[in-house]
């Protein structure tokens, strides 16, 4: 039985990947951070009582900023595969916490690669690094592929650029089977609530049921290549099953703006919106003139990534991969899931309970 170790198992991708690897018969180990609140909601359905004699999912406390915890866990688990998905993954937050972001996102992968070396696991343990389309930043070529030059535009992207190259370097220097998946944005109902897609689906669903009045967004003109996280984690696994370690762009090859995302969601929720203005004055009102969507400049970034569009030809050619979920289905799945949650919250409040998180994001 193969053993996998996933950092970031409590995040969006970690949850989908853990599910996939368990289905494939792996023993799955995950690293979770100590938190004052429960932080395993996305994987609770996979959780097993640790008193079971042979659990298939085992969680360990650790942190990417703490070498000793990483070395101890890697030593204990002796994994065949490590998936480094853990990161301070929010671009906007990285401007507010640049040093911590560098520690977790750049030094974290270095610490894991060093753990592999220190423990003499170079020939045993394969390593996947969660690289990102943010590396392309100020784009030098459209669409972006594996050979497109990088131009990172945030502390997050700069940290991920170090991680990309340290992965390549340890592959070349020490023969470690290390791969970078350069993944374009991927979303799902499990997406964090402050990333733009989830903020939109959650916000509009709550507006639909009367729990929220307005949704405030930043740059509506930003364009992204959005895929489904469930499809993309399959690629993370596939990359480590190849004969040779390589880096791959994973994308859909289609692009939409933030505004188009909002409009698709509004249509699905039958919210009739009338749009007016441009830039900071752009807004959408309902038939009674209430502002439903407006721009708030506090969500603008000091340096923005305006447009990203991936060319996944190499993944198609070498791995035989094509994304399964069309954009329309992704949007529908996210809207339906958030509408269900909003309806549940509304019902609870109607019956005098306010047990759910009803904050506006």
Catalytic residue numbers, as ranges: 132, 134, 156
Among ligand GDR, ligand NDP, none, partner that 219 touches (CB below 5 to 8 angstroms by kind): ligand GDR
Angle subtended at Cα 175 by Cα 183 and Cα 107, rounded to the nearest 5 degrees = 55
Give every CB contact of residue 46 below 8 A, 6+ residues apart in sequence. Answer: 15, 18, 19, 22, 57
The interface mask with ligand GDR, positions 281-320, x = CB under 6 A, is: ------------------x-x--xx---------------
* Closest CB to ligand GDR among residues 100, 114: 100
Distance CA 158, CA 161 (A): 5
* Closest CB to ligand GDR among residues 187, 345: 187
What is the nearest approach in angstroms of ligand GDR to the Cβ of residue 297? Answer: 10
Assess contact for 276 and 289: CB atoms under 8 A.
Answer: no
Helix, strand, coil content of the chain in percent (nearest 5): 40, 15, 40
Q: Is 197 in the site for ligand NDP (CB under 6 A)?
A: no
Looking only at Cα atoms, what is the longest distance across the chain? 67
Distance CA 15, CA 43 (A): 6
* Closest CB to ligand NDP among residues 76, 213: 76
The interface mask with ligand GDR, positions 169-188, x = CB under 6 A, is: ----------------x---
Distance CA 285, CA 272 (A): 8
**In the numeric block, which tokens belong to residue 177?**
């089977």
Among ligand GDR, ligand NDP, none, partner that 65 touches (CB below 5 to 8 angstroms by kind): ligand NDP
Distance CA 55, CA 48 (A): 6
Q: Is 323 in the site for ligand NDP (CB under 6 A)?
A: no
Given 70, 161, 178, 258, the residue binding ligand GDR (CB under 6 A): 258
What are the residues facing 228 on neighbouring strands?
A: 187
**In the numeric block, which tokens belong to residue 234?**
């399959």
Given 31, 196, 284, 335, the residue binding ligand GDR (CB under 6 A): 196
Task: Enumerate helices (H) and strands (E) in the chain, giving the number of each.
Answer: 11, 15
Distance CA 69, CA 73 (A): 6
Stretch that binds ligand GDR, among 194-202, 262-270, 278-286, 312-320 (CB under 6 A): 194-202
What is the nearest approach in angstroms of ligand GDR to the Cβ of residue 9? Answer: 16
Stretch that binds ligand NDP, among 75-83, 110-118, 182-190, 327-335 (CB under 6 A): 182-190
Q: Is 166 in the site for ligand NDP (CB under 6 A)?
A: no
Assess contact for 274 and 284: CB atoms under 8 A.
Answer: yes
**In the numeric block, which tokens belong to residue 136?**
């392309």
**In the numeric block, which tokens belong to residue 187?**
């979303």
Distance CA 193, CA 205 (A): 13
Q: Is 89 in the site for ligand GDR (CB under 6 A)?
A: yes
Give me the residues that bind ligand NDP (CB under 6 A), please. Answer: 7-8, 10-14, 31, 33, 35, 39, 63-65, 85-89, 104, 130, 132, 183, 185-186, 192
Please give the residue ranges that form the binding site for ligand GDR (CB under 6 A): 89, 91-92, 132-134, 185, 194-196, 199, 217-219, 222, 224, 258, 299, 301, 304-305
């Amino acid at each position: 039985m193969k053993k996998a170790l996933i950092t970031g198992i409590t995040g969006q991708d970690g949850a989908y990947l853990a599910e996939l690897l368990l289905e494939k018969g792996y023993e799955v180990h995950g690293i979770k951070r100590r938190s004052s609140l429960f932080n395993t909601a996305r994987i609770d359905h996979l959780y097993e009582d640790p008193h079971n004699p042979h659990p298939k999912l085992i969680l360990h406390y650790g942190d990417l900023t703490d070498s000793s915890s990483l070395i101890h866990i890697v030593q204990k688990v002796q994994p065949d595969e490590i998936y480094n998905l853990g990161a301070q993954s929010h671009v906007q937050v990285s401007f507010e916490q640049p040093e911590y972001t560098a520690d977790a996102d750049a030094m974290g992968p270095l610490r894991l690669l060093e753990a592999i070396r220190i423990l003499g696991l170079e020939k045993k343990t394969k390593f996947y690094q969660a690289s990102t389309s943010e590396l392309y930043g100020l784009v030098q070529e459209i669409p972006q592929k594996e050979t497109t030059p990088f131009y990172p535009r945030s502390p997050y992207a700069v940290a991920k650029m170090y991680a990309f190259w340290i992965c390549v370097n340890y592959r070349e220097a020490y023969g470690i089977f290390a791969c970078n998946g350069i993944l374009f944005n991927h979303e799902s109902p499990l997406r964090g609530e402050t990333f733009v897609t989830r903020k939109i689906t959650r916000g509009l669903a709550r507006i639909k049921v009367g729990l929220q009045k307005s949704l405030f967004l930043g740059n509506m003109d930003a364009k992204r290549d959005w895929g489904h996280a469930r499809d993309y984690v399959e690629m993370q696994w596939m990359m480590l099953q190849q004969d040779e370690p390589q880096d791959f762009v994973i994308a859909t090859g289609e692009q939409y703006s933030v505004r188009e995302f909002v409009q698709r969601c509004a249509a699905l929720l039958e919210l009739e919106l009338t749009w007016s203005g441009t830039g900071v004055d752009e807004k959408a009102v309902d038939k009674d003139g209430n502002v439903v969507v407006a721009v708030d400049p506090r969500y603008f970034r000091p340096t923005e990534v305006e447009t990203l569009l991936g060319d996944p030809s190499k993944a198609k050619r070498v791995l035989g991969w094509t994304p399964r979920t069309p954009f329309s289905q992704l949007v529908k799945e996210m809207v339906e899931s958030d509408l269900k949650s909003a309806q549940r919250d509304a019902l609870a409040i109607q019956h005098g309970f306010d047990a759910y998180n009803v904050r506006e994001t």
